[in-house]
Structure 1
Amino acid sequence: MAPRKRQVQGTDAANGKSSPIKGVSKHKLVPKSRSGDEDSSKKNATSVWYKIGIVFLAFIIGYTHRNHIANMFERDRHFSHLSTLERELAFRTEMGLYYSYYKTMIESPTFLEGLDQVMSDNITEFPLTINTLKRFNLYPEVVLAVGFRIYEGVNRALQRPTKMCWNVNRGQGLSPVQSCEGLGEPSYFYVEHVFFLNGLMMSALFLFGTYLSGSLFGGVLTVASFFFNHGEATRVQWTPPLRESFAYPFLVLQMFLVTHLLRSQKCSYIHSVFIAMSTVMFMLPWQFAQFALLTELIAVFATYVLGYIGSRKMKVFLMGLWGGFLVSYVLLFGNAMLLTSFFFSGMFIITLIVLLEPAIEALRIPPLIWIVQGGMLAVGTLGIKFAVAKLFNIADDAHIGDIFRSKFSDYKNFHTMLYTCAAEFDFMEAETPWRVLKTLLAPAVIVVLVVVVYNLLSAEYTRWTNRSEADIYIRKQTNRSKPNAEIVYHLFQLAAFTIMAVIIMRLKLFWTPHLCLMTSLLASRQFFGWLGSRERHYAMLAILVACMGIQGYSNLQTQWNIRGEFSNAPLEEMVEWIKAKTTKNAVFAGPMPTMATVKLCTNRPIVNHPHYEDAGLRERTKKVYMMYSRKPVYEVKKTIQDMGVDYVVLEDSWCVRRSRQGCSMAEIWDIEDEANQGQTPACAVLRDNPEPHFKKVFQNNVYQILKIT
């Protein structure tokens, strides 16, 4: 088909009629449709290859991060040369507790029998029977147990080996052990999938930075910053089974989807579906997810209050959160902490505020509207949370309020001191800001914040000087939208994560990665186009990455140089004694970390454990820890005996250690047991002479096992 002929015409300003433009020949113009199509096809092909290249680069980055953390884990513990028992001993505290349920599900005759044991567990909090799948967020272990059984079954049918074993001479008077390596080894299968998931997290973070900045260099900046500050951003390489190792990657995905929703010109409830799915995957593995989601909820709500998004987009976001919350609540069998969480009450009151938008907007004065919305949020959230807790008599999360109260006042009790005396629950250590300063991460983010906030305020001033435009943007449309809504959301999100990290040092795992993400905006031409041409801009960023790498590479070398070999002969000796010398129904009590190991390695019933998010369990632990108080030994014996305990594990280090002033166990007890202040701690008495209330049946240089007489 011949291309259409085109005549160039102009418009007569006087009569509005079109006429040929003077001075332009009326001869046929060279047809451009075919060459235009070819150019368009080339651009589309280039775009496709560009996207494929970005995905491939994301895969390489994820694979690199997976190897990075896996190699650090191996160098730290020489995991490949440990026996099965030693690997289990290496999973201390909560890690051992979580891993024990995975072990139960893969060792039972069938998966369903193992799942039933987990859901009707009478070993973890003897003599109670509890649903640990509900209490401990064990869905990662369920998924991995299913995967392991399928993997083993398929390879067994194909007669393919899944692991290699050899004898390892341990030296130092220890007997040789058999060590197996390969995915057929349960612990290997477990940790390898944790590392794989966190490799995917790094891929997602790279794509996130690229999307947020609109530049491939933004993704590179995000990843480089993360690697250079790796020790401040994650601890998955040291503690694979912890809940954050499974949950945080899905928070990155969830925030990515929220960012896409806020940037999209049109939104539909398909966005809600994807947000709901990622929210479920984040909430199921980790009880703390509700607090991170609360900060996200408030950050998006603040974006809505400032008029950057309308009620339509806010409803789509809320629908996603509600869907994720309700599905998680059902799958966690009505976990009480979800129902009494600030996240639930915050969602409820924000949904109400959005539905009442027409009535609130009738106030017309923006500052007054903001005061009403903020007041409703604060009063409503607190009121609903405490009303629900009172109505259902739920106190499982009461300790969280006590912890915050103790940080900003002189309030103290036994439980808050156990938390705040641990470094990870204390205020952010002074070295952390200095570390992110030396890698230039903090200065880079400060530059981003100054430039971005200046641009946003300038844009706001321009809109408010043009009233008609401001009215269109701000108040009259349910589907209203301002540019950079997703950037405003991330500013509020970073502020929330900063506050969390300052108050509780452990939560810098949210803060540092988000700092890395915000550095991606340095590559945004929208905000930093004033630096000059694209080539000049990116050359400056390359220089910045090189400067960040000076300290960053030193940090990486420090991590690479961490080398060790796990060995805990005293704990191994005690575990072997328990398996050989006690009956299968013998009940144990002792320090929380050790009890997790006793359950994992011996499957003996225990009465307390490290998962402290339950009011009943906290009181049980307090009773057990009476042996580190100054109370009379006979009173300690009676309290522990009434719990059905047969054996008590006594660790001398718990009796004498003191992380700082006021943090020895005896000093913690002095807060609530003033009557016995000045007395010799019961643990010191038991260590020297446990008779007649207890009988010493096992002892090495670290542990004693006392049998209640």
Structure 2
Amino acid sequence: MTRGFDGSKTICAVAVSAWIAARAAILFFSHAPEDASERFQSENAFYFSFYRQLVAGEQISRLIADPLSEAPATVPALRRFNIYQELCFGLLYRGLQFFPGTLMSPATFYCLCVFVVYGFGLLAFFSMLGSAAEVVLAGALYVSGLEECTHVAFMPPLRENCAMTFWFVSLWALQDLHKKQAKADFALTAGLRFLLSVTMFVLLWQFACFALLLQAFALYAMLLLGLLEASFVAWASRLHACGTLLASLLRLGDTWPLRSPFFSLAVAFSMCKGRCSAVLCGGLALLLHRLVACEDDAHIQDFLRYRLQAILHTVGDKPPPVASYHAALYAGQRSFSSPQLAELRRPLLYAGLLGIASFRPRFEHQLQSLLALATAPLYLLMMRYQMLFFPQMVLLGGSCATFLPPWLRLPLAMGVFALSEGSVPWRGQASAFLEDKVERDVLMSWIRNYTAPEDVIISGMGVSALVRLHALRGIVCHPHYESAQLRERCFWADKLHGHRTLEEYHAIIRQRLLPGFNGRAFVAVSVKDCFSVNEAGQVVSGLVEVDEPWRRTRPKTCDLLYQLAAKKGLGFQPRWLGRWFALLEFLPGGVGQPLQFSQATRCAFGRYLYEEKGDAMAAEHFQKIGQSWRKLAPACGCAAELFGPAQDIHIAHSWAVEEERRGFGCCPMSPKFSTCLSDKAFRLLRQGQSPALAELYFQKAAELAPSSPKAHGFLGFARLQAGMALEAQQSFQRALQLEETPTDTTKCGGLILSPARWRGTISSQTGLGQLAGARLALKELPSCRQHLQG
């Protein structure tokens, strides 16, 4: 088969890549709010803030000398952070403003640019295949594993969403480079493409050197196996090293990529003359890396060491590993854990394994097979590497089209593509309305209006990123973690969510975070972060004190700071207070005064006490109001009615539902009102109140949201707990009718309706009001265990 220009392959590659990129864009924009940047949190908000600065007209010099990201110090942002995509998109947007016509919003333009770059990356990706049938079949496999292959439909600002484009281009350029060398062709253009793709990849992603290390190892393995000539490996390694050097220069002399093991390996392999010298070059690479290694990547090594020790503990008799703070932060995220068996895309894996098994004497197939074998253990170690592993399996699976008769390849591949497209739902990540969003916007507005540009805000990484984006004030900590010095600062800043006394945290700010600082500093407290639990079910405040676990029995620092609003505090002056946030000014000396409460502030503080601290403290707070609660807004008036004696709270709840008051526990009458009712019902169950009373609230929530399968599912379980078996069946039936795809909730409930053996067991138990027996029966089913833990 001719391996030259193939018009049908090019047309298919353009069509498939354009379709997948457009599909991702449609999914994103169909769920995005009017301002797409409202979706950006944590590291996404941090990176996007640089783009917003450029669009607002600030000079590029603010990126060369950035006073905001690690205040009060000034850092070179272009050298410290991977923000070249923000730089390019921002300058492009500013350039388009000189042309007449209405330009889209900056956030929409930014996201659209990401999707365009992503589409070009897919074009390079599918161009690595040999025929139109392989391209279409690979496109089908890519669509079937869309979530595993990319995050672009959900989080455009992630570094890898633009960077992966140049990873694909580097692989395609490497194949083209080998092809030109095999033909003794003049390969300057191919070498330049490869060089620029490596440079751009290193510029855009802080983990690019690790991915390129796998690429270099694959070439090294092919050399040792006799599949490649030493001259080609040396040539490619020189281009690897030159691309990394060029990226370092473009990042104003940043030495991060030069201190990576990839650069040491590229320099050593560039002197390779044969198989024997390859072994010596490998030893030279280890020596070079030992000479230039630093502590900036120590957190990654700590985490990988922790994950390996955890696996050895699981399969053997090794003692359980002890995680450092930063390793514990990673371990608490689902993407940094091993995949479950149910999460593996079996058709894609089977196709990829079949491609590996059909080992063919072609450079591209051998390279893809070795990259797949190299990334597979990493993916099994942590799911985050799926973006490197699954694309290789897609390419290998697409090459399986050559097993078919030539006349059948393209029609069958197109049929598989249509089947894959039809089986994957057009459902993106919904733009959820965060209960604290409105209050967060008010807080950011207060910071912009009542603080000076040189003031510094101290908070956790997530809130700090939002402060930089929305308020343009200096922060001490941010989510871009590739600096040992920054990680040390973030470690101490995160003590805000630990268990330190106010005096100890005051000393942390004065001695660790802002030594010698003479300006004004503020502490922003986020209640959600204060009481947060990570994806592994661990209390975050416990992880913060991993170095001194004996402190975990003390009160939380953020909780103490929030409650200073009503007290005199040594070293802190409350400035702003809401239900979800508080802002306090750091006082180098002296005693702060309690905040002057307005009606809204008093209500927010009371709701905090009620929902976070308990009924007694909330009742004590509202007793100080006397009869003035009647003057509050209806929503807060209803909330004040609830803060009576603890034993009467459920009576007040019941009365509020029956009267259909405009608010309930400070939740205004809105589409979120039904969710508020469900929250109160769960609270009643936790307090040991009558299940029948909780069922009343769930019933009201279902009436307010008649098309919500979730509301009917919760109502079904509430009725099950109250011994109302027939009514529970009706609720589950309604939930099943409303759901497009059954969830665990309705799967469990649907078992009650099924004619299988479980129906008799569960229904007989619930019909007698014996919830314990029904619970035991349901727990035997895998899909119900987690749902019934509470």
Of 534, 552, 561, 2:406 maps to: 534
Give, in whole Å, the separation in 2 of the partners of 1:586 and 1:563: 32
| 1:654 partner SS | helix
Give, in whole Å, the separation in 1 of the partners of 2:384 and 2:424: 19
Match of 2:586 in 1: 708
> Is the Cα–Cα contact under 8 Å of residues 75 and 563 in structure 1 kept in the other structure?
no
Match of 2:216 in 1: 297
Of 487, 495, 519, 1:626 maps to: 495
| 1:336 partner SS | coil
| 2:63 partner SS | helix
Amino acid at match of 1:203: L
Match of 1:152 in 2: 97
> Is the Cα–Cα contact under 8 Å of residues 76 and 565 in structure 1 kept in the other structure?
no
In structure 2, relative to structure 1, the CA distance for the partners of 1:579 and 1:266 (3 Å cut) is same
> Is the Cα–Cα contact under 8 Å of residues 77 and 566 in structure 1 kept in the other structure?
no
> Is the Cα–Cα contact under 8 Å of residues 251 and 282 in structure 1 kept in the other structure?
yes
Give, in whole Å, the separation in 2 of the partners of 1:659 and 1:108: 38
Of 268, 271, 274, 2:193 maps to: 274
> Is the Cα–Cα contact under 8 Å of residues 88 and 601 in structure 1 kept in the other structure?
no
RMSD, aligned α-carbons: 2.6
Of 677, 681, 705, 2:556 maps to: 681
Correspondence 1:484 to 2:362: yes
- Which segment is superposed worse, 267-276 or 192-201? 267-276
Match of 2:401 in 1: 523
| 2:120 partner SS | helix
| 1:610 partner SS | coil
Match of 1:143 in 2: 88
Give, in whole Å, the separation in 2 of the partners of 1:56 and 1:521: 17
Shift of 1:543: 6.2
Shift of 1:560: 5.4
> Is the Cα–Cα contact under 8 Å of residues 379 and 385 in structure 2 kept in the other structure?
yes
Give, in whole Å, the separation in 2 of the partners of 1:489 and 1:51: 22
1:407-422 correspondence to structure 2 within 5 Å:
407-409=307-309, 410-422=321-333
TM-score (norm 1): 0.75
Give, in whole Å, the separation in 1 of the partners of 2:163 and 2:560: 44
- Which segment is superposed worse, 649-658 or 680-689? 680-689
In structure 2, relative to structure 1, the CA distance for the partners of 1:578 and 1:537 (3 Å cut) is closer
> Is the Cα–Cα contact under 8 Å of residues 274 and 320 in structure 1 kept in the other structure?
no
Amino acid at match of 1:442: L
Match of 2:23 in 1: 68
List per-residue Cα deviations over 1:485-537 (Å, max 9, x = no partner). Answer: 3322211111122222222322211212221111121122xxx2xx5x42355
> Is the Cα–Cα contact under 8 Å of residues 334 and 536 in structure 2 kept in the other structure?
no
Match of 1:196 in 2: 116
Give, in whole Å, the separation in 2 of the partners of 1:118 and 1:235: 27
Identity across the alignment (%): 23
Shift of 1:617: 0.8
Of 280, 283, 304, 1:404 maps to: 304
Correspondence 1:647 to 2:522: yes
- Which segment is superposed worse, 116-125 or 340-349? 340-349
| 1:647 partner SS | strand
1:159-178 correspondence to structure 2 within 5 Å:
160-163=100-103
| 1:705 partner SS | strand
Shift of 1:279: 0.8
1:335-414 correspondence to structure 2 within 5 Å:
335-352=254-271, 354-355=272-273, 357=274, 360=276, 373=278, 377=282, 379-389=283-293, 394-409=294-309, 410-414=321-325
Give, in whole Å, the separation in 2 of the partners of 1:350 and 1:500: 24
Correspondence 1:504 to 2:459: no
Shift of 1:675: 4.8
Of 325, 329, 339, 2:244 maps to: 325
Report the number of matched residues.
563
Of 438, 444, 449, 1:575 maps to: 444
**Higher normalized contact order (CA 8 Å, seq sep 6+, divided by chain length):** 1
> Is the Cα–Cα contact under 8 Å of residues 228 and 555 in structure 1 kept in the other structure?
yes
Correspondence 1:608 to 2:477: yes
Shift of 1:561: 8.7
Give, in whole Å, the separation in 2 of the partners of 1:610 and 1:274: 32
Give, in whole Å, the separation in 1 of the partners of 2:432 and 2:25: 14
List per-residue Cα deviations over 1:4-61 (Å, max 9, x = no partner). Answer: xxxxxxxxxxxxxxxxxxxxxxxxxxxxxxxxxxxxxxx99xx99x844443443333
> Is the Cα–Cα contact under 8 Å of residues 262 and 309 in structure 1 kept in the other structure?
no
> Is the Cα–Cα contact under 8 Å of residues 139 and 417 in structure 2 kept in the other structure?
no
List per-residue Cα deviations over 1:537-563 (Å, max 9, x = no partner). Answer: 5566566556x62xx633333x25957
Match of 1:594 in 2: 463
TM-score (norm 2): 0.67
Shift of 1:207: 2.0
Give, in whole Å, the separation in 2 of the partners of 1:162 and 1:64: 27
Match of 1:106 in 2: 55
> Is the Cα–Cα contact under 8 Å of residues 655 and 664 in structure 1 kept in the other structure?
no
Give, in whole Å, the separation in 2 of the partners of 1:673 and 1:187: 43
In structure 2, relative to structure 1, the CA distance for the partners of 1:52 and 1:544 (3 Å cut) is closer
List per-residue Cα deviations over 1:550-590 (Å, max 9, x = no partner). Answer: xx633333x25957568821221211121222222221011
| 1:129 partner SS | coil
| 2:424 partner SS | helix
Give, in whole Å, the separation in 1 of the partners of 2:461 and 2:127: 40
Match of 1:96 in 2: 45
In structure 2, relative to structure 1, the CA distance for the partners of 1:381 and 1:553 (3 Å cut) is farther
